[in-house]
Amino acid sequence: MSSDSPPPPERPRGRGARPRRGVPGGVPGGRAWRAWRASRAVARARRSGSAALAAAVRRAGGEGGRVPPGLRLAAAYAWRLLVVGVAVYLAFTVLGRFELVAVAVFLALVATALLRPLADLLARVLPRPPAVALAVFGTLFVVLGLLALVGTAAAAEAGRLVGELRGGIGRIERWLEGPPFHVRHGVLSGAHDKITSFVTRHRAALISRALSSAGRVVEALTAAFLALFCSVFFVHSGDRMWHWFRDQLPEGARPPLDRAARAAWSTFAGYTRGIIVVAASNAALVGVALFLLRVPLALPLTLLVFFATFVPLIGSPIALAVATVVALAGRGPAVAAVVLLLIVAVGQFEGHVLHPLVMSWAVRLHPVVVAISVIAGSLVAGVIGAVVAVPMVSVAWAVTRALRHRPRGGA
């Protein structure tokens, strides 16, 4: 035996004692035992599919076995999770500083997901620029026309609605004074007088706040114009813009980035089209019911239900609660009870039929994840955060799945 050859492993002491198969002999904690434990940890890390973790565990094996392999593996995951958390926090901080631009780009992406198929269809019979212009500006004119129609209908019903609401408030007072509530007479009238006196005393402050919010209106108009501007170019040549951006990256990073981007866009476009279908279905059902029940402001309430559906889980119930209050003031408790039953029916139909049928192929998130995402988004960025939370989480999950499962024969 040469002097360079490694020493033989220690044999177990004691009569009849044999080491287990694959387990080195010697006392646990010895050199051979520690080397065996380190090799097992490296093998487990390799089987989990992470070469970086395997290298980290291999380097940690030189610590003399004082740190258990499970703790070393947890530490390797922990610092990576911390790095990802810091990156996400910095990304949201940057987006918060450029909120107007981020909202405009988000709206442009929504418009692109909705109008790109229409523009491609029109491009079969028209040149590409006129097809894009017709799809974008034609849809814009239709939306503005619907909003003008709703505003005209609301203005036409305003005079009649004021009288109905006054009578409805009296009916609500008499209803609350009877069983089972037994509210004392004059309580609601006193509250109404207090609100009126508060508005009278603080009229100047309220007017100044309204005027100070004019800047937000200018920002909203700026974001809408920027979104329209970006959507025209996204619909016209969004794929070429993406290919140019991808070609600026190192060649080794292009295939996984392209795979992640395709998964992200497919999920985002599917969610956008699906939520439009769900919102239109909810608004159609509610609108027909409100018109049949002759609830005041049925058309504006229908439009409110349509836009409220973009906030999952909580948007539709809030809009229908507003419709219930209007029905209670304008048509009485019986019609309000029917609208309240409508809230339950539409919620069940949306949760058990529309979402599984329309959204399951695009978004595969548990309802608990959706609820947490909506609440967290609303806490971070208000209504805008509640609207964008679910599509952002869906896109992140789609990108994770796309990068985790490599295609066969691909990068």
Q: What is the 3-state secondary structure (H, E, C) of 176-195?
A: HHCCCCCCCCCHHHHHHHHH
Residue 292: both structure tokens together:
């049949």
Nearest alpha carbon to residue 58 among 74, 71, 69: 69
For residue 383, give both structure tokens: 């209504």
Task: Give the tokens for residue 366.
Answer: 């548990």
What pLDDT score was predicted for residue 48? 56
The backbone torsions φ and ψ at residue 191, rounded to the nearest 5 degrees and listed phi first, read: -65, -40
Instruction: Using only the alpha carbons of the chain, give its radius of gyration.
Output: 32
Q: What's residue 143's pLDDT?
A: 87
CA–CA dist 139, 44 (Å, integer)? 56
- Residue 299 CB contacts under 8 Å (≥ 6 apart), including other chains: 149, 150, 153, 154, 287
Task: Report the predicted TM-score, pTM, of the whole model to 2 decimal places.
Answer: 0.68
CB proximity list for 395: less than 8 A, separation 6 or greater: 264, 267, 268
pLDDT at position 109: 92
Q: What's the rounded Cα separation, in Å, for the pair 102 and 230?
A: 12
Q: What is the pLDDT along the chain (411 residues), one digit of tens a residue?
A: 444 444 445 444 444 445 554 555 555 555 666 666 667 766 665 555 555 555 555 555 544 446 777 787 888 888 888 888 888 778 777 777 788 888 889 999 999 999 999 999 998 888 988 999 999 999 999 888 888 887 777 777 666 666 666 666 666 666 666 666 666 666 555 555 666 666 566 666 656 665 566 667 778 888 889 999 999 999 988 889 988 988 888 888 888 888 888 888 988 988 888 888 888 888 888 888 888 888 877 888 888 888 888 877 777 788 888 888 788 777 777 888 888 888 778 777 777 777 766 666 666 677 777 778 888 887 777 778 878 888 888 888 888 888 877 665 554
> Cα(333)–Cα(339) distance, rounded to whole angstroms?
10
